[in-house]
Amino acid sequence: MPEGFESLPVALITGYLGAGKTTLLNHILEDPKGHKVAVIVNDIGEVNIDAGLIEKGGTVQQVDDSLVPLSNGCICCTLKNDLIDQLVNLAKMDRFDYIIIEASGICEPIPIAQTITMMEETAATRGIPEVCHLDNLISVVDANRLAYEFDCGLDFVENKDQYEEEEDIRSLLIQQMEFANIIVLNKVELVNEEQKAQIKAMILALNPGAKIIEASYGKVDVNEMLDTHNFNFEDAYYNEGWVKAMQDEDDDDEHEHHHHDEGELLEYGIETFVYTSRKPFMMDALERYTQEWPDSIIRAKGYLWYNVDPNYLYVFEQAGNQVSTGRDSMWIAACEPEIQQREFERDPSLKDIWDEKYGDRENKIVFIGKDMDKQAIIDAMNACLTDEFDEQQ
């Protein structure tokens, strides 16, 4: 790295195809407010950088075909090799003070954020200069599409394949909205005030800490996008609505909900509740229920245990029609007595939740949805539980 090198801030822009990422990008590049920005895109051909921005003549030192110099000192480059290599190479050029990564429409933001966070951590542990750090995570969403997706969309879907595809898109939209600092609500001119308020309520249920910026034609204040010092991986991960709901559930003394937007959310039928139970789930019964459960459930996430594998906590999540459960850590109740003893000493509050039969095993799943029949969901979940579990270690 050059002498006196400072870590480059990186913004990641995600958003589904057609949401307006390219328009937003061009808007930033037209007037980057004095920044020299390098943009990494999956494919320059896809991005249609504004012709007026592309430099005429060869005033820039020879660059390969994956780099397009722009007239204002910015540059656009294709994600050719490993993202880490590319970030290091851009930093070495010592010509930029900001990097924007435009993720392809079908991209999940978490892996990219993890890659950059990992680079920061590696630099810290090895005592080498940090190349870059994630500064902001921006998700561009199409207000019109959201109004359709989360309200009356399902009535229009005739054909099953289209429905499956819609559901996968819905799952991706949810991830892109949950894991962002700034959500640019684009194309707001296409929805009415009522729809807009409803969409915002929905976004805040999924991501209570998000800053929502309304935009038409991708026009936003660049200063709100760059150099925000917004991003923190832990915060982003734990800011998701389901984590907040679970924490509220745990803070018993705070049961009068302190969410200023609670009333507003309920006004639009958007609600979050935590399902809890102690008995184990029957895997096949739960799987059957998740395949047919109501469209009113937008997002569910939490942890549970199964009668056939009672030693392990499983992480459960659903968005759209994508449901996954994965084995995670061991329950303390399934550990050796001396480990249990140590855990009790470390955390005396364990005794409060300890059950004679189940130990610390429990199910806790946060549901976020619109016009949910809460009792029906609880009853259906309870119907998937069993008294029996295989106690063999």
> Which is more confidently placed, 359 or 56?
359
Predicted local confidence at residue 67, as pLDDT: 72
Q: How many residues does the chain have?
A: 393
Highest mean pLDDT out of 15-19, 237-241, 384-388: 384-388
pLDDT in tens, 5-26: 688 999 999 888 778 888 888 8
Q: For residues 210, 214, 216 and 218, what is the CA-based torsion angle, rounded to 10 degrees?
A: -30
**Range 297-318 average pLDDT:** 92
The vertex-262 CA angle with 256 and 267, nearest 5°, equals 130
> Which is more confidently placed, 334 or 94?
334
Q: Is 155's pLDDT higher than 50? A: no
pLDDT in tens, 110-122: 888 888 888 888 8
Q: Is 40's pLDDT higher than 90? A: no
Predicted local confidence at residue 257, as pLDDT: 42
Distance of alpha carbon 225 from alpha carbon 182, whole angstroms: 8
**Range 66-89 average pLDDT:** 75
What backbone torsions phi and psi does residue 323 show, to the nearest 5 degrees? -120, 135
Predicted local confidence at residue 4, as pLDDT: 55
The closest alpha carbon to 390, from 306, 288, 276, belongs to 306
List the beta bridge partners of residue 76: 39, 68
Handedness of CA 218, 224, 226, 230 (dihedral sign): negative
Query: What does each C-alpha distance from 132 to 73, 83, 118, 122 come to in angstroms?
Result: 19, 12, 11, 11
Predicted local confidence at residue 21, as pLDDT: 85
Predicted local confidence at residue 255, as pLDDT: 41
Average model confidence (pLDDT) for the chain? Answer: 81
Predicted local confidence at residue 270, as pLDDT: 84
Structural contact between residues 169 and 200, judged by C-beta atoms closer than 8 angstroms: no
Structural contact between residues 182 and 137, judged by C-beta atoms closer than 8 angstroms: yes
pLDDT in tens, 192-224: 888 898 889 888 888 888 899 999 887 888 888
In order, the DSSP letters of 99-162 are: EEEE--TT--HHHHHHHHHHHHHHHHHHTPPP-EEEEEEEEEEEHHHHHIIIIIGGGG--SHHH
Which tokens is 222 given?
Answer: 């660049």
Predicted local confidence at residue 226, as pLDDT: 84
Predicted local confidence at residue 277, as pLDDT: 96
Q: How confident is the model at residue 129 (pLDDT cuts 50, 70, 90)?
A: confident
Distance of alpha carbon 263 from alpha carbon 269, whole angstroms: 10
Q: For residues 233, 146, 18 and 176, what is the CA-based torsion angle, rounded to 10 degrees?
A: 10
pTM of the shown model: 0.77
In order, the DSSP letters of 202-270 are: HHHHH-TTPEEEE-STT---GGGTSS-----HHHHHHTSHHHHHHHHHH-GGG-S---TTHHHHHHTTE
Q: Is 137's pLDDT higher than 80? A: yes
Q: Is 159's pLDDT higher than 70? A: no
pLDDT in tens, 245-298: 777 766 644 444 444 455 556 667 788 899 999 999 999 999 999 988 888 888
Query: What does each C-alpha distance from 314 to 40, 60, 178, 258 come to in angstroms?
Result: 37, 54, 21, 30
Which tokens is 253 given?
Answer: 């003394």
Domains contained in the chain, CATH given: 8-154+163-238 (3.40.50.300), 241-384 (3.30.1220.10)
Query: What does each C-alpha distance from 372 to 47, 97, 269, 313, 378 come to in angstroms?
Result: 40, 47, 8, 27, 11
Q: How confident is the model at residue 31 (pLDDT cuts 50, 70, 90)?
A: confident
